[in-house]
Amino acid sequence: MTGPQWDIIGIGESSIDEVFRLPGVLEPNVKLPVSSRQIRYGGQVATTLATCASFGLRAAFLGTTGDDDDVNGLRKALDDRGVDTSLLIRRPVPHRRAMVLVSEKTGDRAVLWERDARLALTPDEIPRATIEDARLLHVDDVDVEAALVAARIACQAGIPVTSDIDQITDRTRELMAAVTVPIFAEHVPLELTGEADLERALRTLRKTHSGLLCVTLGARGSMLLDGHQLYRVPAPSVRVVDATGAGDVFRGAFIYALLRGDSPVDILRLANAAAALSCTRDGALDSVPTRREVEEFFKVKGQGSKGKGQGSKGKG
């Protein structure tokens, strides 16, 4: 009897990014010359899957693309990084594009994007057998109806589901309930609960969700609630070149460590390190590190890839 064909199937977004590097700080009313301009590739699920593949997982991408000339470059970039793109569905519309403004001084970026509504993946395009042939499913919150259908198929089959939740909509709570491990942007738990403190927000969400609850904190690291045990792990200090895609790299490394059976602290340590290393490089897909590079990064920082983090218990 053979095992699942895929370690991970990802459902969600990819992007063609036009990246402008700027010599100053991004702030209101600023006027800056353009240092350089490049076409790069990214998107939240695309970058997460590329990270998983780079770490050695068998990764497949279920989603849509447009028919622009640059889409061939996007597919090639994913194929070159080991992501299977045979499940992608091509639409006769422009692909999702983003204008990414990156400060050379701070590494901060601003993203302006547009996506044709006809790129939406629909629930009837979710193949049950394909979802059931994976060890883990990862979804984002872009095409929510399709993500919900896929997540429910996976959960019925006993397959864990991770998610990228970085915006609040009227379907956010429904999506959170449908997945096993929601991974939130920092503002999401606060807005969902009305709490001003992240720990209190996660403990409030615990009342309706029994799985791991994770929050990315950018340069401050990450936080995870496992049962009633809260873990906080700081991020390694790096000189930031470009923060684009760092959260997606975090999720990819998180998934790798989760499937490997790591402890909560070690999951966060690995994911933090991968995200930090990605910030020292340009672009989204182009910034994805390998597992060996992350291990070498730990050595340079004088740390092992496994170790202690800060934990605290509280009442749910």
**119 and 92 Cβ atoms separated by less than 8 Å:** no
Rounded to two decimals, the pTM is 0.92
**How is residue 155 written in tokens?**
């959960």
pLDDT in tens, 58-90: 999 999 999 998 999 999 999 999 999 999 999
Provide the pLDDT confidence category of residue 316 given band limits of 50, 70 and 90. very low
Average pLDDT over residues 237-255: 93
Cβ neighbourhood burial of 208 (10 Å; 0-12, 13-18, 19+) = exposed
- Strand pairing of 134-140 and 109-114? unpaired
Provide the pLDDT confidence category of residue 52 given band limits of 50, 70 and 90. very high
pLDDT in tens, 170-216: 999 999 999 999 999 999 999 999 999 999 999 999 999 999 999 99
Of 201, 185, 182, whose CA–CA distance to 193 is shortest?
Answer: 201
Residue with tokens 């994805």: 288
Three-state DSSP class for residue 136: strand
**12 and 165 Cβ atoms separated by less than 8 Å:** no
Q: In this structure, which amino acid lies at residue 8?
A: I
Q: What is the Cα–Cα distance from 280 to 241, expressed in whole angstroms?
A: 5
The values of phi and psi at residue 80, to 5°, are -60, -25
CA torsion sign for 253, 258, 260, 261 is positive
**259 and 135 Cβ atoms separated by less than 8 Å:** yes
Give pLDDT, residue 60.
98
Give pLDDT, residue 315.
46
Q: Which domains does the chain have, with CATH numbers?
A: 6-14+44-94+116-313 (3.40.1190.20)
